[in-house]
Amino acid sequence: MQVPGEEIITYPADLSEAFPGLKLAEIAGLIQKGDSTFILESYNHRILAIKDGKIVHQIGGIGQGKGEFYYPRDFAIDNKINFYVFDFVGRGINRVQCLDPGGKYLAGFNAESRAWGFAVDSSYHVLLGTPTLKVVVTEYDTLGKRLAGFGKLVLPSEIYGDKYESSDKYYTIPMNRVNIAVDKDDNVWLSFLFMPLVLKYDKKGNLLFKKVIDLPGLEPVKKALWKPGSKEAKDYLSMNLDGIQMPVIIKDIIYNESQSTFYLLLGNDTILVMSPTGEYRYLIKPLFAGGTIEKFFLLGTGEIIVRFFYHPECYRLKVRYPDKNKKLEEK
Partner 1 sequence: MKVLEVVSKKIKSIKMIYCYIFYIFLILIISMTVILSLSKNKITYKNGDIIGQLVFKNFHGEKVSLIRGKYNFVIYLKSLEKGFSLAKYIDKLLQRFGSSGLNIVLITPFDRDGTQNPDMNIDFKYPVLPVEENRAALKAFFDLDQTEQCLLIINPGLVLDAVFYFFREEDVRQLCEKYLLGDIAYQEQDSTGKLKVGDSFPVIDLEDLTPGTSMPVTQTSGLNPHLWFVFNSNCVTCVLHNQLVKFKELEDEIGKTPVVPLGLMFSSYFFKSEVQENINYYSIKTRAFLAVGELTGIEDSYFKASAESGGLVILTSVSNQILYLAPFLDFIGDFKGGKIDFKSALR
Residues that bind partner 1 (CB under 8 A): 21-23, 25, 43-45, 55, 61-64, 70-71, 90-91, 234, 288-291, 308, 310-312
CB of 310 to partner 1, least distance (A): 5
- Comparing CB distances to partner 1, the nearer of 64 and 123 is 64
CB of 105 to partner 1, least distance (A): 16
- Comparing CB distances to partner 1, the nearer of 17 and 257 is 17
- Alpha-carbon distance of 67 to 95, in angstroms, equals 11
- Comparing CB distances to partner 1, the nearer of 92 and 101 is 92
Ramachandran angles phi, psi of 136, nearest 5°: -70, -40
Contact 96, 108 (CB under 8 A): yes
- Comparing CB distances to partner 1, the nearer of 59 and 155 is 59
Contact 268, 285 (CB under 8 A): no
CB of 32 to partner 1, least distance (A): 20
- Comparing CB distances to partner 1, the nearer of 21 and 322 is 21
CB of 145 to partner 1, least distance (A): 23
CB of 139 to partner 1, least distance (A): 28
Contact 60, 85 (CB under 8 A): yes
- Comparing CB distances to partner 1, the nearer of 297 and 315 is 315
Radius of gyration (C-alpha) of the chain in whole angstroms: 20
Q: Which of 268, 273, 265 is nearest to 321 (CA)?
A: 273
SS (H, E, C) 104-117: CEEEEEEECCCCCC
> How many Cβ atoms are within 10 Å of 188's Cβ, its own excluded?
24
Report in angstroms the alpha-carbon separations of 163 from 156, 166, 167, 168.
Answer: 10, 7, 9, 10
Ramachandran angles phi, psi of 296, nearest 5°: -140, 160
CB of 95 to partner 1, least distance (A): 13
Ramachandran angles phi, psi of 3, nearest 5°: -95, 135
End-to-end CA distance of the chain: 21
CB of 149 to partner 1, least distance (A): 28
- Alpha-carbon distance of 234 to 247, in angstroms, equals 8
- Comparing CB distances to partner 1, the nearer of 64 and 122 is 64
